Amino acid sequence: MSGGSDSAIIKYVKDVADSLGQVCAVIGAQWGDEGKGKLIDLLAGEFDVVARACGGANAGHTVIVNGKKHVFHLLPSGALHPNVQVVLGAGMVIDVSTLLEEIEVLKKAGVDILPRLHISAAAHIVTQEHKERDAKIEEERSNKIGTTKRGIGPAYGDKALRVGMRMESNLQSPISNCLVSNIAEFMNDLIKNKKRILIEGAQGVLLDIDHGTYPYVTSSSTTVMGALQGLGLPPKVLHSCIGVAKAYCTRVGEGPFAAEIQGDTANRIRERGGEYGATTGRPRRVGWLSIPDLQYAALLNGFTCWNITKLDVLDEEKMISVEVERGRLGEFPGWQTSTSGITSFEKLPQQAQSYIQFIEEKTGIPALWIGTGPDRRDMIVKSI
């Protein structure tokens, strides 16, 4: 059961929104699927523009409003707010058929996004051939990545080889009117005109092509620097950067995962957390929170605060492990009581409060947003 109401949470968000400044970025701090979409949806009403910068339809961002689920792959998760302009940046690789489908699904839900959609003409197009090549490379390689098969690697590969096709060559489609010839000028004009911009990161820091667990990564820059680059925004305009991390950790696809767990505990967390890919439906690998990974993500992005998500998923655990240093697990007593839908920090059980405070102390970053359920309203919002 959810304890809060939409109007209560919207008021809390309004109260703290000013502190986020004119430009705020939301960045995944683990291997993706941290719950970025939910936070973006919650914040978007306080911004004029929500912008995706990098990645493509490998992303799957889930938003639940009044029990209705929306999954975004290419469009930003702020799209449900009627007055928000939405941007797809130059760093993206866009599968036009997926985008058109997403636009259609929203239209059926009563949201006409076309009049407020702005797409960089320099974003690259993902073709059917890219998707086929992605699947074929996966099939043939010995160290499989476990890609989403959305054609991401081949599309970025062609871009780097300078043989890619850009959105500017897609002039027949219904989205041709949405193309922006110079996204850097467009975004910087918004800044000049005092518009507030919310940047929606995709994937997570540990999947970053430069700083992640290579080769088990995606093909784009998933950090805040990558996001600014993809939108043509200079770093000095950024005021705040929220790092999103689950209270535990998941990974979908192959690659190292030191605190991964198997067996009953993993199965329980997977089921309670609904840990199945929003894009591919694959069961996500499950493990404990890693403090060194959060510290690493924080140093790469300069997070100003955390959104710790899915605290409620740990409600049934007797003991909760955490990787406190590389290769060393520590144990915390669980709270074994429901935190579902709690909207104030003081109402959390003492052990849950201590758990959050431990993360804050170890990373030196305040957890101002704490997720206690999948719905928009299931969020603790703390002000500093």
- Give me the residues that bind ligand GDP (CB under 6 A), please: 28, 32-38, 60-62, 64, 274, 278, 309-310, 312-313, 371-374, 378
Task: Find the binder of ligand IMO among 207, 231, 242, 342 (CB under 6 A).
Answer: 207
Evaluate whether 241 touches 24 at the Cβ level (below 8 Å). yes
Residues 273-292 that bind ligand IMO (CB under 6 A): 278
Nearer to ligand IMO, 51 or 59 (CB): 59
With vertex at residue 115, the alpha carbon angle to CA 113 and CA 121, rounded to the nearest 5 degrees, is 95
Question: Least distance to ligand GDP from the beta carbon of 192, Å?
Answer: 30
Evaluate whether 124 touches 56 at the Cβ level (below 8 Å). no
Question: Least distance to ligand IMO from the beta carbon of 58, Å?
Answer: 4
- Work out whether 145 is an interface residue with ligand IMO (CB under 6 A): yes
Nearer to ligand IMO, 33 or 312 (CB): 33
Question: Least distance to ligand IMO from the beta carbon of 61, Å?
Answer: 6
Spatial distance between the Cα atoms of 368 and 304, rounded to a whole number of angstroms: 10
153 binds, among ligand GDP, ligand IMO, Mg ion, none (CB under 5 to 8 A by kind): ligand IMO
Question: Least distance to ligand IMO from the beta carbon of 179, Å?
Answer: 24
Q: DSSP string spanning 104-154?
A: HHHHHTT---GGGEEEETTSEEPPHHHHHHHHHHHHH-SS-----SSSHHH
Evaluate whether 24 touches 50 at the Cβ level (below 8 Å). no
Question: Least distance to ligand IMO from the beta carbon of 125, Å?
Answer: 16
- Residue 312: φ, ψ to 5°: -60, -25
Residues 40-99 that bind Mg ion (CB under 5 A): 60
Please report, as a single letter, which amino acid is at residue 295.
Answer: Q
Evaluate whether 46 touches 56 at the Cβ level (below 8 Å). no
| Active-site position among 61, 70, 130, 211 | 61
Does residue 70 carry a catalytic annotation? no
- Work out whether 52 is an interface residue with ligand IMO (CB under 6 A): no
Does residue 33 carry a catalytic annotation? yes
- Work out whether 278 is an interface residue with Mg ion (CB under 5 A): yes
The contacts of residue 147 (CB under 8 Å, 6+ apart) are 58, 134, 138, 153, 218, 253
Tell me which residues are annotated as active site. 33, 61
Where on the chain is the footprint of ligand IMO (CB under 6 A)? 28, 31-33, 58-61, 145-148, 150, 152-153, 202-204, 207, 218-219, 252-253, 278
